[in-house]
Amino acid sequence: MRALDISVVGATGVVGTALIKLLEKSEIAVDRLRLFASSSGARQLKFRDQTYLVEALRDIRNIDDTKTDIAFFSAGGDVSAVWGPRFASQGALVIDNSNAFRMRPDVPLIVPQVNACSLTVRPPSGIVANPNCSTIQLVRALRPLIATFGVNQVLLTTYQAASGVGRRGINELEDGAEAWLKGSTRPAAESFPVSLAFNVIPQIGEISSEGVALEERKLVQESRKIFGMPRLQLTATCVRVPVKTCHSEAVYVEFDDHVRLEQVHELLANEPGVRLYADEIRDGYPTPRFLGGPAYVHVGRVRVNPENPRGLWMWVVADNVQVGAALNALLIAQLVIANNLMDET
C-alpha cells in the first residue's frame, strides 16, 4: 500500500486530537499530513517525530489544497456541510464525524464491526459518515444479540458525558464544579441548557414539537440505517450527566424469542471489541470514571427480565471520544484502505 496524503479538519479538538494519536500509532503510512482548525494561531502538533503547523481552514484559497487521499472531518456540522463536498470533489474520501450527512442515501453510515458490508464500493458522494457516539456503542452491543434472537423493541436511557460537546463542555463542567464548590448557586451554562455540575439534564439537542430531543431522534434513525432495519422499534431518553468522558446506557431489549442468560453471555463474550462483565461479584461492572480499555464497548449488569423471558437489560459504557468517534473513524479509514476505495484517477 502506498503512503497516503491525509488531512485532518478539526485537528485541535477533542476528537481530532484523539484521532491524530490513533493515526500515529496505526500502521497507515502517511506521506503528507495537513492539519486544519478554525485559525492557525501558530499552533503546532507532533506526529511521528515531525512537527506540523495547524492551518486555518478558511485560508484555503486554492482548490488544489483540498486534494488528499483521506480527509477526516471533526469540526462540527456547518464546517463539514461546506468543506466536506469540496474535499470530496477533488478526490478525497471524506470520513465525517458530524451530523451533516449521516442520513443521506448516498452516504454510508458505518460502524465497521456492524456493517462493514455497506462499504465495499466507493460511495458516489465521496463521503462516509461516522455515527453519533451514543449510537455506536449501542449498535455494537446489540449486534450479536439481534442477529441471534431477532428484536421486537429497544428502550434505553443514556447518561452522556460533558466531552460529548467537545472541549468547551469539559471546561464548563470543571469550571461549574469549582464555582459551585466556592458557593456560586447558578454557575454559567453555555454548552448545556442549565449548569451541568452536580446536576443531570434530560435534554441533549433541540426538542421537537413532538417532544423528542435531537440526540434521541439520531439514535433511532441511525440505528435503523446501520442495521438496515427501517422499522426497528427503538425509543430513548438521552440525559447529560456530570461525567467528563464516557457515555453510559441502560438498555432494555425485547427479543422475538426467549433468551437464556448463558447464551447472551457467550454471544457478548465472543463479540470482537466487547468486554463483558458477566459476574458482578467477580467482575464488578463498568463505570465511566474508572473505565479501562478505551477501545472497548463495556457491558455489565446483564440480566433477563424475571417478568418476561424475551426481555433483557444491560448496562453499556464506552469512551465517547474513542469508540464513539476517533477510533470508529480510524477503523473506517482502515476499511477504506483494505477495500481500495481511494480515488486513484
Ligand X SMILES: NC(=O)c1ccc[n+]([C@@H]2O[C@H](COP(=O)([O-])OP(=O)(O)OC[C@H]3O[C@@H](n4cnc5c(N)ncnc54)[C@H](OP(=O)(O)O)[C@@H]3O)[C@@H](O)[C@H]2O)c1
What are φ and ψ of residue 78, in 5° steps? Answer: -65, -40
**d(Cα 26, Cα 74) in Å, to the nearest integer?**
19
Active site residue 298: no
Q: In angstroms, what is the minimal distance from the CB of 317 to ligand X? A: 14
Give the C-alpha separation, 49 to 115, whole Å: 35
Least Cβ distance, residue 164 to ligand X (angstroms): 5
Shortest spacing between CB 181 and ligand X, in angstroms: 25
> How near is the Cβ of 108 to ligand X at its closest, in Å?
16
**Residue 126 vs 164, nearer CB to ligand X:** 164
Cβ proximity to ligand X, 20 vs 119, nearer residue: 20
- d(C-alpha 174, C-alpha 172), whole Å: 6
Please report how close the Cβ of residue 308 comes to ligand X at its closest, in angstroms: 33
**Is 133 noted as a catalytic residue in this protein?**
yes
How many angstroms separate the CA atoms of 44 and 151, rounded? 49
Beta bridge partners of 239: 159
Residue type, 158: T
Q: Which residues bind ligand X (CB under 6 A)?
A: 9-16, 36-39, 57, 74-77, 79, 97-98, 133, 163-164, 166-168, 320-321, 324-325
Q: Which of 165, 159, 233, 236 is nearest to 199 (CA)?
A: 159
Beta pairing, strands 30-37 & 4-9: parallel
Please identify, using beta-carbon distances, which residue of 24 and 266 lies nearer to ligand X. Answer: 24
Q: Which residue is nearest to ligand X (CB)?
A: 13
Of the pair 166, 300, the CB lying nearest ligand X is at 166
Sheet with 297-304, side-by-side order of all strands: 234-240, 151-160, 247-255, 311-318, 297-304, 274-276
Q: Whose Cβ is closer to ligand X: residue 83's or residue 149's?
A: 83
In residues, how long is the chain? 345
Phi/psi region, residue 170 (left: phi>0; alpha: psi -120 to 50; beta: rest), is: alpha
Q: Which of 133, 238, 246, 298 is catalytic?
A: 133
Q: Which residues are catalytic?
A: 133, 247
